[in-house]
Structures are given as structure tokens and as C-alpha cells.
Amino acid sequence: MPQPHLAAARYGKDNIRVYKVHKDESTGFQEVTEMTVRVLLEGEIETSYTEADNSVVVPTDTMKQTTYIMAKQHPVNPPELFAAILANHFVETYPHIHTAHVKVVQHRWTRMDIDGKPHPHSFMRDGAETRNADATVNRGRGISIRSAIVGLLVLKSTGSAFHGFVDDEYTILKPVNDRILSTEVDCGWTWNTFGSLKDVESAAPKCDQAWSSARKITLETFAVDDSASVQNTMYKMCSQILAADSTIDAVDYSLPNKHYFEIDMSWHDGLKNTGKDAEVYEPQSNPNGLIQCTVKRGSS
């Protein structure tokens, strides 16, 4: 009978919380960055699983301490660059580690305005939205990076329809020409593979530009598109992001529907609250629709 074998293995440290402050002594202003980091390593580590051989294990606490040291010695912005720096360190430092995956989740701290002026060192948590970066360094195969906007909650109270769908013996959903549309945006874009860390460093300024552009496109398209479906609206978003930067290879969206149902109040003295008279709705949590797509750049 064939013996079992280790088909795949990776390990690492998750939920490493890091905060870094940059102090500009000339202006008195400070910049803050808070992030949550995950490190996963792959390589010649099979014997740690099959033979209890810890000599091939880089301790996960070492990964945590390394993250702190890299944050001290290198820029943490943009997150794509820091993720690449950290992942590259593990592959370059440990010959038996062939692949390093680093995920950086950057949390929002927005500078406060006090008396109409930006405060030099006070900030507020501006929602649950995060800016994410996933970097994978494969020895001899370059650096893959996916950037993302996650947790951006949006809603529009009109300008969305859904009709013309499959209607069979299992369908009770009624077509609508106007509805509330709300979702929590998870938008990602995958860059063309970088040959080296130096290539990532050279492209770092574009990362901020791409994030700003993707966020602007997402919000503007969501707001102004006379949406026939979530599917069609997200395709438009993907196409615009690809058009905005030729070094992006693919764009993906995952958009869960946040449903708002009309409440029939006709039982109460004929009170009208459906159709054109609807004003009060019941927000729903689940189940919910989940719409996803990936759009890749066409070959020339």
C-alpha cells in the first residue's frame, strides 16, 4: 500500500501588529502607520513534519521580531514595498526557504482637523476599510504582488435595477426597476511580476497612485452607473482600473449584496410603504448575494 507523503506545507506567524511613527522635526508634524502582518514560509521543511526535525524551522517568533526590525530599518509605505522587502528578506537569508508570502493589512488613521487646521499629531480611525498588499517572493521566479481595497462600505438609495433574470419554477424574486444598492467592496489588482526587489522599489510611487485611482474609480462608478446588475457594474470598474495603469495584469472584485427590504405596513390603517411609497426599510444581514469576477488584460 502506498505510504502517505507530505503534499504541501507552509507555516508562519499571523496577526503581527505593528505601529510606526515618522516625526518631522522641521515641521513638528508626525505621520503614523498601523498594520497587521502575516508571514508564511515554504521550502525544504518536510522533515519538520515527518521526522520531528526542528533544525529546518525558522521560529515564528523570529518572524515576528524580524518584522519589527524590518519596519525600523525600512519604509513601511507603500505597503506593497514593505511586504516585498520582508518576503525577500526571508528568501535571501535562509537558503532552504524557497518561497515567502507576506500579507500587510494597513489600517486607516486619518489626521484630525482642529479649528479648521490639520493637527500635527492627532488622528481618528476613519472606518473599517483597509489597504492590503500581498507579496510572494519565489526564489528565481520574481516577486508577485496583489494590492487591495477591503471593507469599503458603500450604499446608494436609488439608481440600481435588477430584471430579466432566469424565472422558473424555483424563482419567487420579482424584477425591480429601482432598488437600494449596498455592498462592502473587496477590490484587488495584481501587478505584472517584478523581477527583483529593486524593481518593486522603482515602482513604489505607482502603488499609491494605483490605490488612489482604483478607489476613485470604484466610488465614482458605483455612484453614477445606472446599474443593471452588480455584475455589469463591477466589470466596468475592472475595465477602468486596467485602462488606468498598463503595469496591472488583472483586477478582481468581490461584492456581497447588503440587502434592504421594504416593510409592508398596509395592515396598519392601510399605511403605504412599498413601491414608490417605500421610505422605511429593514436592513438584512444574511443570507446575501455574493458577486465575484476577475478581469485580465487582453493579449495584444
Summarize pLDDT for 216-236 with one digit per residue, the tens: 999 999 999 999 999 999 999
Percent of the chain with pLDDT over 90: 96
Q: Which residue's C-alpha cell is 475595465?
A: 239
Quick one: which of 129, 77, 90, 78 has its CA closest to 108? 129
pLDDT at residue 298 in the model:
79
Residue 66 in this model has a pLDDT that exceeds 90:
yes
List residues with catalytic annotation: 13, 60, 259
CB 77, CB 33: distance < 8 Å? yes
How large is the C-alpha radius of gyration of the chain? 24
Q: How far apart are CA 190 and CA 195, in angstroms?
A: 15
Joined grid coordinates for residue 199: 524593481
142-156/181-191 β-pairing:
antiparallel
Query: What whole-number percentage of the chain has pLDDT above 70?
Result: 99
> In the beta sheet, which residues pair with residue 42?
99
Statement: residue 285 has pLDDT above 90? no
**What is the 8-class DSSP label of residue 115?**
T
Q: How far apart are CA 272 and CA 31, in angstroms?
A: 52
**pLDDT value of residue 299:** 64
52 has pLDDT over 60: yes
The answer to whether residue 300 scores a pLDDT higher than 70 is: no
Q: What is the largest distance, in Å, between two alpha-carbon atoms of the chain?
A: 77
Task: Report CA 88 to chain centroid distance, whole Å.
Answer: 21
**CA of residue 260 relative to chain centroid, distance:** 25
Distance of CA 258 to the CA centre of its chain: 18
DSSP string, 201-245: HHHHHHHHHHHHHHHHHHHHHHHH--BS-HHHHHHHHHHHHHHH-
